[in-house]
Structure 1
Amino acid sequence: MPRLDDDHPGNRIREQRKLARLTQRELAARIPYSYSWLTQVECGARPASVDFTAAVARALRIDVTVLTGQPYVTQLQEDRLAELIRPIRESLDLYDLGDDPDVITRPASDLITATEELCAHVRATHLHAAAAALPDVIAELTALCWRAPTTELWQALGSAYRTAHDVTVKLGYFDLASVALDRLGWASERASNPCLAAVRQYFRGLVYFREGEYTIGLRLIRSGHGFLDPADESRESLTVAGQLHLGGSVLAALADDRSTAASHIAQARDYVGRVGDASTVHWLNFSPANVDLHEMSVAMEMRQYEEAMRQAKAIKLPASMATSRRAHFFIDRARVEMELGKADASLKSLWAARRAAPEQIRYHPGARETVRGLVHLSRRAPESLGNMAAWVGIGLGTGGLSYSTVASSPWNPACR
């Protein structure tokens, strides 16, 4: 049987638990998961899902990246992405330094167009291209905003900060992503744009998806709605409100609040019925198909895997859907299929995600953990799974593991 190396979240959880001087039973009592579940994750027989890892991080009072191992520096260096992070960090630090006369800027109209192109790069998962171009765009826009500020320029700078958030999140630099959101708030105030401020609250809410503090995340979603004027029937305002509901639906599902999750989905459907496909409004991907995808995610996060699978099979992705969102669907589908013991189908979905968005999938912790789960479902890892594992940075050792697939569950509970 294939054997995984020891560099996995379960091993990190065990190390941090011991540093906290907790037994497995003591830690299990502090998280919404069973002792058996925890023991399986620690020994590597069950993948550490995002919600599980967040729950453990919260219980141990540590940052979730301590357990996930992000950012994945080795792969980032191989892909020449790590070297692009420092220029982004430096550009984010220019915001309050005033004008720099040494900065030669493009015309304002060109920079505004450049921010739209950056958003398009991220939606297409061209992360290297976005990360490489971003620092100059931020530096030039910052200089222009100090020299001759206009609402349009502040909005464009806010958009560039949002791209900085998107890129750094996808590459696993969450602290830097939080800085980018602070800068987005700073720019949105100067642009006097309530929709931009609400978009910031949406992304702040998603931070707590990773951290496991779902109550705070839901409060941020409500705060985002507070920035919007209920009387504003513009397409922009309705789209942002709808996207906030989509974020709220997944946070509520993770908080095990089924009725609130269903209410958010229903309200999102109402908004999407009024605006139609509004994918390019603030590049939020708000559309009927995205509402369907979030409804599937709600079922998945509530561990209703059969229902999630039923919905996944019914979803038809339009050709216009952003590559980033399309790839995310395939990751979610792969996780559901893995949980249902459908290893071949799960691997097929992962390959579909990789073909669609290789730069995104290589750094996605959910994709990595699904690969780990599939390795444990396989008595002998097929070559395609071995290739996938190596590509995302999971080492397969030699020798066997005493875990096997059982009829009642894809996971063997006898892992102590």
Structure 2
Amino acid sequence: MPMRDDDHTGTRIKEQRRLAGLTQRAMSDRFPYSYSWLTQVECGARPASADFVAAVARALRIDVTVLTGQPYTTQMQEDRLAGLIRPIRESLDLYDLGDDPQVTTRAVAELVAAAEELCAHVRAAHLHAAASALPDVITELTVLCWRSPTTELWRALASAYRTAHDIAVKLGFYDLSSVALDRLGWAAERAADPCLAAMRQYFRGLVYFREGEYSTGLRLVRSGHSLLDQGESDRAALTVAGQLHLGGSVLAARAEKANLAADHIARAREYAERVGDASRLHWLNFNAANVALHEMSVAVETRQYDEALRQAKALRLPASMATSRRAHYFIDRARVEMELGRREPSLKSLWAARRAAPEQTRYHPGARETIRGLVHLSRQAPEPLRNMAAWIGM
């Protein structure tokens, strides 16, 4: 196997635990997993799931990326993505510098359309295309917002900042994603758009979901709801509110608040029935199918794997489902099948994710850990699994 036994999340957990001066017994007393579970993860006999990594990071008071090894720079260099991050970072830093007479901008309508196209690229999991075009769009929109500010331009700039956040998260640059969210809040305030402000709270909630701070994440979800006018005629507000409920469902599941998770799912389903397919409204992919996907995610997060697999098999993803969301479904399904010892179906699900969204799958830490779990389950890894492990960088 083209895999280094000393280069995985478990070894990083062991290293950070030792740096903190903790034995495995002492560590197991600090977070909600057993001593046996910890020892298996550290030696590579068990994959480090996202919830496990978040719990370790919270217990040791370190960032999740210290444990996952993100960003995966070797693969980014191979995919010619590494050189695209600095221009994005620099464009985000222009927000308070005012007009730049040296910048020639496209027409307003063209830039607004370009910001929409960036969202479409991310939903289609075309990360290289989005990352390549993004800095110029942010730069030109920033200059235009200073030259002749309008609500339309501020909204477009907020959308571009949201795209920066999406790309940064998918590539593992979480510090950059936080900067992008700050800029999103800045632009949303100037656009006087409560939906954009509430969406920012949703994305911030997912930051705390990743880091294992679930109570803070749930507070952000409640804050997002408080910003919205959820009147009968406001479809946009209902859509964002529904998405906030979806975020709340997985946060509550991780926090072991089963009743709250179920309530969030029920409320999201109610909103989905009221708005119909709102998948393109703010590019949130909000519809009944996404509610069903989050209900499956709740089962995954609460480790009800048999129920999660039952739901996964019953799901029929519509053709309108965004490619990025479709790939996420296959990655979740692969994890469930791996946990249940269903090696061949799990590998098939990973290949389905790779075919749908190769860039997204390659940089998804959950996909990596599932592959590691499959390798451990296999006495002799079959060629498709060896190919997958080599492709993902193991």
State the TM bucket, normalised to the shorter chain.
Answer: over 0.9
- Identify if the C-alpha distance between structure 1 residues 179 and 351 changes in structure 2 by more than 3 Å, giving closer, same or farther: same
The aligned residue for residue 208 of structure 1 is 208
Instruction: Give yes or no for contact 1:123–1:324 (8 Å, CA) kept in 2.
Output: yes
**Which amino acid in 2 is paired with 1:94?**
L
The answer on 1:351 being equivalent to 2:351 is yes
Structure 1 position 4, deviation (Å): 4.7
| 2: CA distance, partners of 1:109 / 1:291 | 33
| 1: CA distance, partners of 2:248 / 2:131 | 29
Structure 1 position 5, deviation (Å): 2.4
Structure 1 position 292, deviation (Å): 0.3
Deviations 1:6-29 (A, max 9, x none): 110000000010010100010011
Instruction: Give yes or no for contact 1:2–1:375 (8 Å, CA) kept in 2.
Output: no
| 1: CA distance, partners of 2:29 / 2:294 | 30
| 2: CA distance, partners of 1:322 / 1:110 | 24
The aligned residue for residue 260 of structure 2 is 260
What are the within-5 Å matches in structure 2 for residues 49-128 of structure 1? 49-128=49-128
| 2: CA distance, partners of 1:278 / 1:243 | 10
- Identify if the C-alpha distance between structure 1 residues 286 and 12 changes in structure 2 by more than 3 Å, giving closer, same or farther: same
Structure having the larger proportion of residues in helix? 2
- Identify if the C-alpha distance between structure 1 residues 368 and 79 changes in structure 2 by more than 3 Å, giving closer, same or farther: same
**Which amino acid in 2 is paired with 1:192?**
A
Identity of aligned residues (%): 78
Structure 1 position 3, deviation (Å): 6.6
Name structure 1 gaps, 5 residues minimum.
395-416
Name structure 2 gaps, 5 residues minimum.
none
**Which amino acid in 2 is paired with 1:296?**
M
Instruction: Give yes or no for contact 1:9–1:67 (8 Å, CA) kept in 2.
Output: yes
| 2: CA distance, partners of 1:113 / 1:2 | 44
Deviations 1:315-364 (A, max 9, x none): 00111100000000000000000000001100000000000000100000
Alignment size in residue pairs: 394
What are the within-5 Å matches in structure 2 for residues 331-410 of structure 1? 331-394=331-394
**Which amino acid in 1 is paired with 2:253?**
A
What are the within-5 Å matches in structure 2 for residues 155-174 of structure 1? 155-174=155-174
Deviations 1:17-72 (A, max 9, x none): 00101000100111110000000000000000111001001111111100000000
For the residue of structure 2 that corresponds to 1:11, the secondary structure is helix
Instruction: Give yes or no for contact 2:242–2:286 (8 Å, CA) kept in 1.
Output: yes
Structure 1 position 235, deviation (Å): 1.1
Query: Over aligned residue pairs, what C-alpha RMSD do you find?
Result: 0.9
The aligned residue for residue 40 of structure 1 is 40
Q: TM-score when scaled to structure 2? A: 0.99
The aligned residue for residue 196 of structure 2 is 196
Deviations 1:245-283 (A, max 9, x none): 000000000001000000000000000000111000100
Structure 1 position 2, deviation (Å): 9.0
The aligned residue for residue 293 of structure 2 is 293
Q: TM-score when scaled to structure 1? A: 0.94
Structure 1 position 231, deviation (Å): 3.0
| 1: CA distance, partners of 2:330 / 2:209 | 19
What are the within-5 Å matches in structure 2 for residues 248-327 of structure 1? 248-327=248-327
Instruction: Give yes or no for contact 1:12–1:66 (8 Å, CA) kept in 2.
Output: yes
**Which amino acid in 2 is paired with 1:161?**
Y
Instruction: Give yes or no for contact 1:289–1:318 (8 Å, CA) kept in 2.
Output: yes
The aligned residue for residue 27 of structure 2 is 27
The aligned residue for residue 400 of structure 1 is none
| 2: CA distance, partners of 1:28 / 1:278 | 44
**Which amino acid in 1 is paired with 2:112?**
I
Structure 1 position 110, deviation (Å): 0.3
**Which amino acid in 2 is paired with 1:392?**
I
Larger RCO (CA within 8 A; separation ≥ 6):
1
